[in-house]
Structure 1
Amino acid sequence: MELEIEEHLTRFLGMLDTAFRRRGEDGLPERLRQAVREAPRHRFVHRFRADRDRPAEDFDAEPQRHLAAVYSDRVLAHLGPDDAALDSTNSQPSYVLWLLHRLGLEPGHRAIEIGSGSGWLAAVMGRLVGGDGHVVGVEILGDLARRSRDDLASLGSANVAIVEGDGAAGHATAAPYDRAVVTAAVWDLPAALFEQIAVGGRLLLPIALAGGAGRDCHVAVLRREGDRFRALEAVPGRFVRFTGPGQERGVERRRLEELPFWPGIGATPTSHRPLPLGARDPARFGGAAYAFRLFLGQTEPGFTAFDDGAGEELSTAPFGLVDAAAESVAICRPGVLIGYGPPEAVRRLDAACRRWAALGMPGPAAFDLEVVRAEQAPQPGRGVWVERRGASALVWRLTLTVPPPRAGRRKTIRDRPHPAGPGTGITPPAP
């Protein structure tokens, strides 16, 4: 058994090394490699499902049979006693370890993981901070918290403590923290994190996107600067949603049938025209459409992502604007813009697309992001957009400046590199 584990672990470390190189790193860092070796993943896996449609698996009953699945670069869903999936997963190893690498854990750090799940990542973090450091994991699911506590004890991880409770409250007893990890997509930043992370400390935070069904998010590395957090970098990601008060907004997509005025306008579209965004692939939105969707979510209060049964991914979900006062709807689908009711929503979407194109079609990388308390949010202004999300607010500042076009020249962005991806030849829609 030990020989088999060593073979699978060696293969696993090779997978991680390859995945890190694909992300532009010089392979798996040695400190992280050693931490993964000292906190083997199989010690934290019990009842699980490797894929949504696969049967439940029991590692403890047949460990040798499941070693290949455990030491693969895939998500494992935790199961309860009745084999129902828990609202927690053992995340894709290469991705979550790469994010952890971006956070910069050092020996002696005090760290907290909110949503510690199986305890595996907390164990890895414990190895990285060493004997002079300390890690607290907070897990709201009692069965998982107790099981992970036992697994950590059997591994001898004396510098890692698992606390059963609501992660929104953090864990004030061991604060302040030099590093913090949240392993669920957050809509509204829990107020406790403004207090419990040290000035200069870093927070790894998946930020749920509007209409992203709670899973699609920006995963940002934030640094606390005074009374706010500033993003050092961010990448797209998908995480289970963070639950609790204040986290409901932005989780679900809307069905058109749920709009109270839909029966009066939904029988026949009032406008239907080609939309260059996503036109190349009828089943998906391309990089430019993805960037415009995020821009629309940041800048337009009426932004809506629609649920038409096509799935949860942003690449397939239709989106647009709802103007409830005018009883007007504009829907973007790959290659087409459809309007229902009066033209107000379509006009607003056209205007937003022209603004976005005039700014250079910025994607997420073109914005600086701050997370602040809601009462400290600045007023929106030129190049500044504010998303109020309850107790917190996201402040987006455009860092990319584009000179205005010459007089009489149409604002057309063509073959120009920009943060959304390669040139797309998109022309803003006419008024």
Structure 2
Amino acid sequence: MTKEGDKNYLRRGFQNETNFLRNRVVSQLVERGFIRNKKIEDAFRKVPRHIFLPGIEPQEVYSDVSIITKKIGIEPISSSTQLSLMASMLEILHLKKGMKVLEIGAGTGYNAAIMAELVGDERKIISVDIDAETVEEAQQNLAKAGYKGVTIKCADGAKGFTENAPYDRIIVTCSIRNILIPLIKQLKEDGIMVLPIWFNGTQITPALEKQRNGDLISLSATIGGLMDIRSKTFQEIQVEPSKKEAEELLICSEHPEMFPEEKIKSLLQSPHQEKELPLKEALSQRGGDFFIFLALHEKKSVELFVETDANEFAFGDSAAGIVDLENNSACLISRNNKLFIYGNLSTYRKLLSLSKRWERLKKPGVDKLQVFVFMHNQITLQKNDLIFREKFPTIVVRIL
């Protein structure tokens, strides 16, 4: 066989492998219920994700994991979203043929390619990213994959992109703490915006429909789990004073200032009690129903992930619950649903009280939440409504 023949043989082998892996992971997403819409399934089967992640092994590309694409030191600043989360967000975005879509956070360009398939016209997809280097890479990936018509612009996503407004749909592929007013203004009446919002220790991703008066009401919601939106470019972050070389804990919260790592480590390395948890489904996965309920009610809720190999903490590699450093108390649920209690029992009592309330309300999950964004002061509350006045605009979460 000639050298050219060898290359063709290897190329065909690689193509067969990526096709097999792509179809396998999509079938798994369908079986697990993350993909329900046949058009979304077809788009995931068609778009070759490995083209958008050059240098990454196909087995990792076509697995249901988030893949870090940029770091500064040990800190990740850009990624390709976990496939199940991406599919869940696209399911509630309800894209239709011919719709004009704004994406905040271009990433690798992969999500833009999927959406181009769903709306049937590449020119209808506009994606913005704050990093010029990311924009250039996304453009190259899209061109290589055959989606040259998608528009990728370098801009601050928090301001949207007025040039092509208004939009039928807006999707934000990074987490936010407050609803971004420019995006509301650039969304058509009856348009839908999907974005992950921080609520204390968790993220909820509603599909918000714009009303005639400018308010937003969610039609459905799913879990979140995306990196925070950035106001600084890659280059601006690089020239900042470097942080310490390694962090042992990844602390996930809307209020990171409440959880200094050294103080948390000191508390979590102190003597503890271990108890069985009566709620078997409490934290079977990140974003478990009970923890979402807990986080909506408790400002000091937090998720913790151990970043080092050392097994320093009794709870293992991850946990979620309440950490109250002011009162020297923590109550955490481990991955295998064990309770770990540190310091005094105040957080333990609080967690048990919330678990009983959750059970009385018939264990609501994210599918039983409705999110309201009020642009005006006329707010009518119902029983079990949770109001977040510190957010702007004011957000209300209703437990249905």
Structure 2-normalised TM-score?
0.71
RMSD, aligned CA: 4.3
Post-superposition Cα deviations, 1:318-340, rounded to whole Å, max 9, x if no partner, equal: 4236495xx47453455557475
* Structure 1 residues 73 and 320: CA distance shift in structure 2, 3 A: closer
Counterpart secondary structure, 1:220:
strand
Q: Residues of 2 paired with 1:92 and 1:307: CA distance?
A: 19
CA offsets per residue over residues 150-197 of structure 1, 9 Å max, x none? 333455535311111221111111111111221122222222221111
The match for 1:405 is none
Q: Which residue of 1 aligns with 2:80?
A: 90
AA in 2 matched with 1:136: I
Whole-angstrom distance in 2 between the partners of 1:204 and 1:228: 15
CA contact (8 A) 1:201 1:223 kept: yes
> 1:241 deviation in Å?
2.4
Equivalent residue for 1:331? Answer: 331
Partner of 1:230: 217
Match of 1:320 among 315, 322, 331: 322
Change (3 A) 1:122 1:160: same
Q: Determine helix, strand or coil for the equivalent of 2:293.
A: helix
In the alignment, the residues of structure 2 paired with residue 190 and residue 314 of structure 1 have an alpha-carbon distance, to the nearest angstrom, of: 37
| 1:41 positional shift | 2.8
Asked whether the 8 Å contact 1:367–1:396 carries over to 2, the reply is yes
Q: Is the 8 A contact 1:292 1:361 kept in 2?
A: yes
* Greater per-residue helix proportion: 2
Structure 1 residue 77 corresponds to structure 2 residue 68: yes
Q: What SS does the corresponding residue of 2:196 show, helix, strand or coil?
A: strand
Deviation at 1:397, TM superposition (A): 1.5
Contact 1:138 1:167 in 2 (8 A): yes
User: Partner of 1:392 in structure 2?
Assistant: 393
**What's the offset of the Cα at 1:257?**
6.0
Amino acid at match of 2:194: L
Closer/same/farther in 2, CA of residues 176 and 309 from structure 1, 3 Å limit: same
* Change over 3 Å in CA distance of 1:74–1:362 after alignment to 2: closer
Aligned to 1:366: 368
Which residue matches 1:14? 23
- Residue 297 of structure 2: aligned partner: 299
Considering only CA atoms, is the larger Rg found in Structure 1 or Structure 2? 1
**Higher relative contact order, structure no. (Cα contacts within 8 Å, ≥ 6 residues apart):** 2
Distance 2:82 2:129 in 1: 19
CA shift for structure 1 position 370: 2.1
Moved more, 360-369 or 1-10: 1-10
Amino acid at match of 2:52: F
Number of the residue aligned with 1:240: 227
Residues of 2 paired with 1:5 and 1:154: CA distance? 16
Q: Partner of 2:93 in structure 1?
A: 103
Match of 2:138 among 148, 154, 159: 148
Contact 2:270 2:342 survives alignment (8 Å): no
Which AA in structure 2 matches 1:40? Answer: P
- Separation of aligned partners in 2, 1:102 and 1:75: 20
Distance 1:315 1:84 in 2: 18
SS at match of 1:365: helix
CA contact (8 A) 1:16 1:28 kept: no
Counterpart-to-counterpart distance in 2, 1:27 and 1:18: 11
Partners of 2:85 and 2:224 within 8 A in 1: no
1:254 and 2:259 matched: yes
Match of 1:44 in 2: 52
Aligned counterpart, 1:163? 153
C-alpha distance in 2 between matches for 1:354 and 1:305: 20
Which whole-Å CA distance do the structure 2 matches of 1:71 and 1:268 have between them? 42
Partner amino acid, structure 2, of 1:46: P
Flag the 1:330–1:225 CA change in 2: closer, same or farther, 3 A. Answer: same
After superposition, the C-alpha distances for 1:28-82 in whole angstroms (9 at most, x for unaligned) are: 7257525753x433432335xx5xxxxxxxxxxxxxxx555545554432247x9
How many angstroms apart in 2 are the aligned matches of 1:268 and 1:98?
40
Gaps of 5+ in 2: 1-7, 233-251
Task: Summarize deviations over 1:343-375 as a string: whole Å, max 9, x none.
Answer: 8766655654454443334333333222344x6
Normalising by structure 1, report the TM-score: 0.67
Question: Helix, strand or coil for the counterpart of 1:317?
Answer: strand
Structure 2 distance, partners of 1:323, 1:258, is 7
For the residues of structure 1 that align with 2:128 and 2:372, how far apart are their CA atoms? 25
1:29 paired residue number: 38
How many pairs does the alignment contain? 360
- Give the Cα–Cα distance (whole angstroms) in 1 for the partners of residues 18 and 77 of structure 2: 27
Deviations 1:300-331 (A, max 9, x none): 44x3337595889999424236495xx47453
Percent identity of equivalent pairs: 21
The whole-number CA distance in structure 1 between the counterparts of 2:389 and 2:338 is 31
Structure 1 counterpart of 2:243: none
- Does the 8 Å CA contact 1:19/1:94 hold for their aligned counterparts? no
Check whether the contact 1:111–1:180 (CA below 8 A) recurs between aligned residues: yes
- Asked whether the equivalents of residues 277 and 286 of structure 1 are also in contact (C-alpha less than 8 Å), the reply is no
Output the CA distance in 1 between the equivalents of 2:36 and 2:339: 43
Distance 1:195 1:225 in 2: 12
Query: Which of 187, 207, 218 matches 1:221?
Result: 207
CA distance in 2 between partners of 1:384 and 1:22 (Å): 34
1:88 to 1:72, Cα distance in 2 relative to 1, 3 A: same
Distance 1:286 1:126, change over 3 A: closer
